[in-house]
Structure 1
Amino acid sequence: MKEDKIQILVEELLKIFPLIRRDILYASRNNDNKLSPHEHISLNIIARHSPISMTDLARSLGVSNQQMTRIVDALVEMALVERLTSPDNRRLVLTQLTDKGKETLKYIKNQKKQHLSDKLAVLSEDEVEQCIHYLAELNKIMAKLK
């Protein structure tokens, strides 16, 4: 019985994730830089773990080192990211956000908030309250799964 309900939960999660992803990534595709999803995610990873090695960045994104090099090259060309040499190991290349990269992430976050606020404006006050409650519960549950 519990396994049947878990399968229903899995199906519901698989339905909602693409919808959320589409609306959140909307903002990154509609900015002045026209960031690809991988570029946008890379910026977020670099912001959280700066400075981060190319290898760790590739591992976090789940891509090859060669593909990561192309992604970072594009971000460097847009002046959003800079490469550094590790002070401890001169063979190790690190990446960090530039000021423009930080501003771009801030701008995209504000765009996401505005876009989602506009989409959610059609909900009644009751529906908004329900969403707040259930999302808070979902966050608690997801924290248990780590």
Structure 2
Amino acid sequence: MYKNKDDILIHAVFDMGPLLYKLVFQSSSHQEDLGVTRTQLQALILLAKKEPLNMTQLSKEMGVSRQQLTRVVDGLVEKRLAQRVESPVNRRMIFLQMTDKGRSLLEGTIQDCAEQLKKELSLLTEEEKDILIHSADILRGLSVRKAD
């Protein structure tokens, strides 16, 4: 079925994507309390790492169209989890940044997800954990090379 190790890895990555997404973005009580979607949560995570971002930057980071992102951001602004801020240099340039309420929601959600992940990871042996750590480092390295 598979011709070589690259094919095996490609299929494994495609299989893992949805599983990891589900594992990381499982509903948390914090997320549910405010009715935040997974896409809105993804936007908050990116803002936490790279804020402030303009709409073009955020849409590229998320891999969604600007139209889709506008709906996502409108929801975050309406819930007071993020805010639009004019650039002091160019008033036509609008940046997005998280509010304190957004940071609090994200911290609580990450805590909930981390607790769930710890339960799942406790089922692994130390050797399996070492392998996953090494694999994650390799994947991060690929991601960094792609960004350059």
Task: Please report the TM-score for the alignment, with normalisation by the length of structure 2.
Answer: 0.81
CA RMSD of aligned residues (A): 2.4
User: Are residues 59 and 141 of structure 1, via their aligned partners in 2, closer, same or farther at CA, if it must alter by over 3 Å?
Assistant: closer
User: Are residues 34 and 119 of structure 1, via their aligned partners in 2, closer, same or farther at CA, if it must alter by over 3 Å?
Assistant: farther
Matched, 1:19 2:19: yes
Matched, 1:9 2:9: yes
CA contact (8 A) 1:46 1:52 kept: yes
User: Are residues 29 and 63 of structure 1, via their aligned partners in 2, closer, same or farther at CA, if it must alter by over 3 Å?
Assistant: farther
Distance in 1 between the 2:66 and 2:139 partners? 34
Q: Number of residue pairs matched?
A: 144
Which runs of 5 or more residues in structure 1 are unaligned? Answer: none
Instruction: Within 5 Å, give how 1:50-129 maps onto structure 2.
Output: 50-129=51-130
Q: 1:5-35 CA distances to partner (integer Å, 9 max, x unpaired)?
A: 2111111222222211110010468622232
Q: 1:45-99 CA distances to partner (integer Å, 9 max, x unpaired)?
A: 2222211112221222222222211111100111100111111111111110001
CA contact (8 A) 1:84 1:94 kept: yes
Task: Please report the TM-score for the alignment, with normalisation by the length of structure 1.
Answer: 0.82
Which runs of 5 or more residues in structure 2 are unaligned? Answer: none
Which stretch of the first structure deviates more once superposed, 63-72 or 91-100? 63-72
Distance in 2 between the 1:110 and 1:66 partners? 31
Distance in 1 between the 2:66 and 2:136 partners? 36
